[in-house]
Amino acid sequence: MANRGKIYIISDSLGETAERVAHGAAIQFDQAEIRIERRPNVSNCQGIDAVLERAAADSAIVLYTIVRPDLNAHLKRRADELGIRTVDIMGPVIQALQDVLNMSPQLVPGLSHRLDREYFDRVEAVEFAVKYDDGKDPRGIREADIVLLGVSRTSKTPVSLYLANHRLKVANVPLVPEVPIPQEVFQEGRNKSIGLIIDAELLMGIRRQRLKSLGLGSSAQYATMERIMAELDYAWDIFNRLKCPVVDVSNHAVEETATRVLEIRQGGRHG
């Protein structure tokens, strides 16, 4: 007969942190049968007492993540009275950080899950930027927070991905004279469009370098001044029709361009 044990998880939030620790420890005892029961959102002394009484009856260990000092103290005191072995998952770490940083913690239940939500929002925004990169699907314009427009090699993609780390959904649309701009830009995207522009000479150098890296000749039309001027004129025509803000990316790092886009968005269309 395998050895049996039980662990109760008590938390004033979801208790997932303590449950992961419990599973990580329990897996080290493969010859034992260990049951884990999680009791989340315990927010008062009565709730703590109810779980502790069950734990005492089951001769269970209690793992807990209770950040409120009054509830934490009550749990420790009541567990001692009932002879229950307890493990405070977060308390010692919080205390150590408090001592080292010489500052008080917020002691707000569930903050880690708010951070998790921010993480998943960033992942979603990155996936959005990839899906709607380079005008692949104009339907993304409707859902986008920002729509970037510009000719080739104006940093649309890296700026989109940088902004995704700020949890912003960004679609970008290339401006090519021979390719009609999607009507969604003028319909759903007009009030969230931002143009990216660049110095013609600088763009010619960037494009020639790009052709060289691909093993192509630098004399291709893509990198000629005549072609570049035609594209930039077309871009300005679109920007004027949209009456959208324009950011000059010439000699600016991606971070600088993205910061300017954020400033425009936070300050209003023409802020």
What is d(CA 196, CA 149) in angstroms, rounded to the nearest whole number?
Answer: 6
The CATH code of the domain that includes 30 is 3.40.50.2300
- Please enumerate in sequence order all residues whose Cβ is within 8 A of that of 211, keeping only pairs 6 or more positions apart, or say none: 217, 218, 220, 222, 223
Q: State the pLDDT at residue 270.
A: 44
d(CA 11, CA 65): 5
DSSP letter (8 states) at residue 180: P
Rounded Cα–Cα distance for residues 81 and 218 (Å): 82
Do 217 and 122 belong together in one domain? yes
- pLDDT value at residue 115: 58
Q: Which of 109, 141, 169 is the last residue of a domain?
A: 109
Q: Which of 106-115, 130-139, 186-195, 258-267 has the lowest mean pLDDT?
A: 106-115
Q: SS3 helix, strand, coil % of the chain, rounded to 5?
A: 55, 15, 30
Residue 19 has pLDDT above 50, yes or no: yes
Number of H helices, E strands in the chain: 11, 8
Neighbour count for residue 263 (Cβ, 10 Å) = 12
Number of domains composing the chain:
2
Helix (H, G, I), strand (E, B) or coil at 5: strand
Residue 128: is it exposed, middle or buried by C-beta count within 10 angstroms (0-12/13-18/19+)?
A: buried
Question: Which domain range does residue 171 map to?
Answer: 113-267
Cβ neighbors of 50 (< 8 A, separation 6 or more) are: none
What ranges in 107-224 are assigned the alpha helix state H? 111-131, 140-143, 156-164, 183-187, 200-213
**What mean pLDDT comes out for the span 59-70?**
92
Are residues 262 and 151 part of one domain?
A: yes
User: How far apart (Å, rounded) are the C-alpha atoms in residues 186 and 136?
Assistant: 17
Top pLDDT among 244 and 110 is at 244
The per-residue pLDDT for range 186-197, each reduced to its tens digit, is 999 999 999 999
- The reply to whether 156 and 260 lie within a common domain is yes
Same domain (yes/no): 103, 150: no
Task: Check whether residue 143 and residue 67 sit in a common domain.
Answer: no
CB contact at 8 A, 185 and 242 = yes
Do 133 and 75 lie in a common domain? no
Least confident stretch, 154-163, 173-182, 188-197, 207-216: 207-216
61 & 155 share domain: no
Is the pLDDT at 271 greater than 50? The verdict is: no
pLDDT at residue 94 in the model: 84
Please state, for a pLDDT cut of 90, what percent of the chain lies above it: 71
Tell me which residue has tokens 């001692």: 80
Q: What is the pLDDT of residue 30?
A: 83
Angle at alpha carbon of residue 248, lines to 247 and 252, rounded to 5°: 110
Last residue in a domain, options 56, 87, 109: 109
Structure tokens at 40: 């989340």
Least confident of 29-33, 39-43, 111-115, 173-177: 111-115
Q: Residue 219: pLDDT above 90? A: no
Amino acid at 1: M
| Same domain as 163, residue 97 | no
Q: Are residues 134 and 250 in the same domain?
A: yes
**Cβ partners under 8 Å of residue 27, min gap 6:** none
Statement: the pTM of the whole predicted model exceeds 0.75: no
Q: Which of 91, 109, 127 finishes a domain?
A: 109
CATH number of the structural domain spanning residue 224: 3.40.50
How high is the pLDDT of residue 214? 86
Q: What is the mean pLDDT of residues 17-35?
A: 90
Q: Specify the residue for token string 């034992």.
A: 32
Same domain, 164 and 60: no
User: What proportion of the chain, given as a percentage, has pLDDT over 70?
Assistant: 93
Assess whether 102 and 152 both reside in one domain.
no
Query: Does residue 164 share a domain with residue 89?
Result: no
